[in-house]
């Protein structure tokens, strides 16, 4: 592994370990009326572990996939999705701002949000599911859908900025910052939509 990749790996670890739980911590503070005694430390630790052990790998990989999508010019011009591409210097077509923003949002879909909220739920319920599985799955999927729709305007703008204005090696940090903002809103939406 090259030195630059090692540094990026360490940065991603710190970003996942610190930014996700920071956003969740702020969300908890807001919901508790800024009462530090109401903070769930198992929840913060869980989100830190999920951010550093799961998100730090899967999110940068998805962003690399978006950077690597290249289509032959003839195929792109005939595709019904041609408005998502622009011509690159080599004559092939790559995702344009709309394509990269849209595919980034496709990744952070209601299912991804439902999984994140499920981690929050587990960490605040002694890592046990207190409802039958047949109720839990639709419950968390509905929470994910509601949170996705509630955050859609911010998500469009945030993902546009991440995909268009931030260098590829810093996009995970940008995404984690946006997700930290969303963690605040997910905490509030969990309370509102549960």
| Residue whose pair of structure tokens reads 């955050």 in the numeric block | 151
Q: Mapping DSSP to helix (H, G, I), strand (E, B) and coil, where does residue 128 land?
A: coil
Residue 108 within a domain: yes
User: Which residue is associated with the tokens 């011009």?
Assistant: 77
**Cα(168)–Cα(68) distance, rounded to whole angstroms?**
11
Q: How is 31-88 classified by DSSP, letter by letter?
A: HTTS-GGG--HHHHHHHHHHIIIIIHHHHHHHHHHHHH-EE-HHHHHHSTTGGGEEE-
Over 80: is that where the pLDDT of 74 sits? Answer: no
- In total, how many domains does the chain have? 1
Provide the percentage of residues in the chain whose pLDDT is more than 70.
97
Average pLDDT over residues 32-38: 87
178 lies in some domain: yes
Q: What is the value of pTM for the model shown?
A: 0.84
Higher pLDDT, 73 or 10: 10
Structure-model confidence comparison of residues 164 and 191, the more confident one: 164
Residue 11 falls inside a structural domain: yes
Instruction: Return the pLDDT at 1.
Output: 59
187 has pLDDT over 70: no
Q: What is the pLDDT of residues 127-140, one digit of tens each?
A: 888 888 899 999 99
What are the structure tokens assigned to 169, written together? 């090696």
Domain contains 142: yes
**Domain span holding position 107:** 3-67+97-193
Which carries the bigger pLDDT value, residue 45 or residue 88?
A: 45
Distance CA 93, CA 84 (A): 9
Helices and strands, counts by H and E, the chain:
8, 3
Q: Give, in order, the Cα–Cα distances in Å from 178 to each of 138, 154, 183.
A: 26, 9, 9
Residues in the chain: 194
Residue 59 lies in a domain: yes
Interval 93-112 mean pLDDT: 91
Whole-angstrom CA distances from 87 to 7, 73, 92, 121, 125 are 32, 8, 6, 45, 51
User: Which pLDDT belongs to residue 28?
Assistant: 87
Q: Is residue 125 part of a domain?
A: yes
What is the spatial order of strands in the sheet that 93-95 belongs to?
70-71, 93-95, 85-87
Residue 75: pLDDT above 90?
no
Contact by Cβ (8 Å): 139, 118: no
């Amino acid at each position: 592994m090259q030195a630059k990749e090692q540094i990026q790996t360490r940065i991603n670890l710190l970003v996942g370990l610190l930014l996700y739980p920071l956003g969740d911590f702020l969300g908890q503070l807001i919901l508790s009326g800024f009462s530090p005694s109401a903070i769930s430390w198992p929840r913060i630790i869980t989100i830190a572990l999920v951010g550093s052990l799961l998100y730090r790998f899967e999110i940068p990989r998805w962003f690399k996939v978006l950077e690597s999508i290249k289509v032959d010019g003839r195929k792109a011009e005939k595709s019904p999705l041609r408005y998502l591409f622009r011509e690159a210097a080599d004559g092939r077509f790559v995702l344009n701002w709309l394509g990269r923003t849209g595919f980034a949002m496709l990744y952070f879909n209601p299912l991804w949000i439902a999984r994140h909220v499920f981690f929050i739920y587990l960490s605040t319920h002694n890592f046990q599911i207190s409802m039958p599985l047949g109720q839990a799955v639709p419950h968390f999927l509905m929470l994910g859908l509601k949170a996705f729709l509630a955050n859609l305007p911010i998500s469009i703008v945030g993902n546009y900025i991440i995909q268009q204005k931030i260098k590829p090696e810093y996009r995970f940090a940008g995404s984690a910052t946006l997700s930290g903002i969303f963690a605040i809103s997910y905490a509030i939406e969990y309370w509102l939509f549960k």
